[in-house]
Structure 1
């Protein structure tokens, strides 16, 4: 199998959410990655948006690398159809492997786990542990309140504009994916797999 054109780590919910548009967009994101010869790196689950983005990537011809802690294999229904499925012992090991295998990071809607992964990756970039692009998909205003709170943190003097420049927030999933891939140093991919 050829090396992937690029590799994107996607953080997202292990639940689908109540708005069907979240799952629809997760499927579009996975399709975009797979159809362009890309690789999805994600948390290895089959449930919620995690399963949707993985299935769509696979169906479009892309590679999927799942990384899941042993304690979550049953809870998040480990996706046995991944191109690679790594069952690890700790969350720290999971996040380390995901970060190493990715060229860029994208957060879709999700809950506390998604928030934690996004903020940790953002912090790592601020500290110089990596220089990979990071995106937050503010789909249908899902992250609007959080972005206002972050602006409040800046206004309150606990953050500054330089930190804000380390991540991209956008409500357009395709534009955000294109920005991340180009910022990671890859040419903007065209569709390579017919569906």
Structure 2
């Protein structure tokens, strides 16, 4: 089995997806159908009201609808991608079963969410699944005007990693609201005092 997470490369003691990325994937699987259902609300650009549609249509070639949203709704890319992942997970876990028929984005995401524990421990492509779901979420959020929060760079890890005084020095970052934890040495900065010390001991050019 893999010794590191297929998404972030963190050591996982044999899991294909670390616990943090498994929890994040669960949240994204829950959000995808919600975001997809919001697409129709953004079909008309915010700067155009429904009362302006006729004017926009007769004034020239400019489309009165958000073409990027329209294309996504027509192509149903999220629906196709998530169903293909459900088919593959079932193929690996239960090769004797026939492929599941299309059942909609919400049903496929819910099914994958119920299988996440097995996926994290037993599915070699877990990292690829998590990566593609992350991309789909970002794409849908961009269409509905709700971008994915950007990671905050906090500085360098100041944890001492051996008896010679070697400092980790890895870059620390987090999403808004997340706890601060080094992905390399796994040191956590939990208290206000920890964060004050982290800031105090940053290299002068980063402080």
Give your verdict on TM over 0.5: no
Q: More helix by proportion, 1 or 2?
A: 2
Q: More strand by proportion, 1 or 2?
A: 1
TM-score class normalised by the smaller sequence: under 0.3
- TM-score (structure 1 length as normaliser): 0.26
- TM-score (structure 2 length as normaliser): 0.24
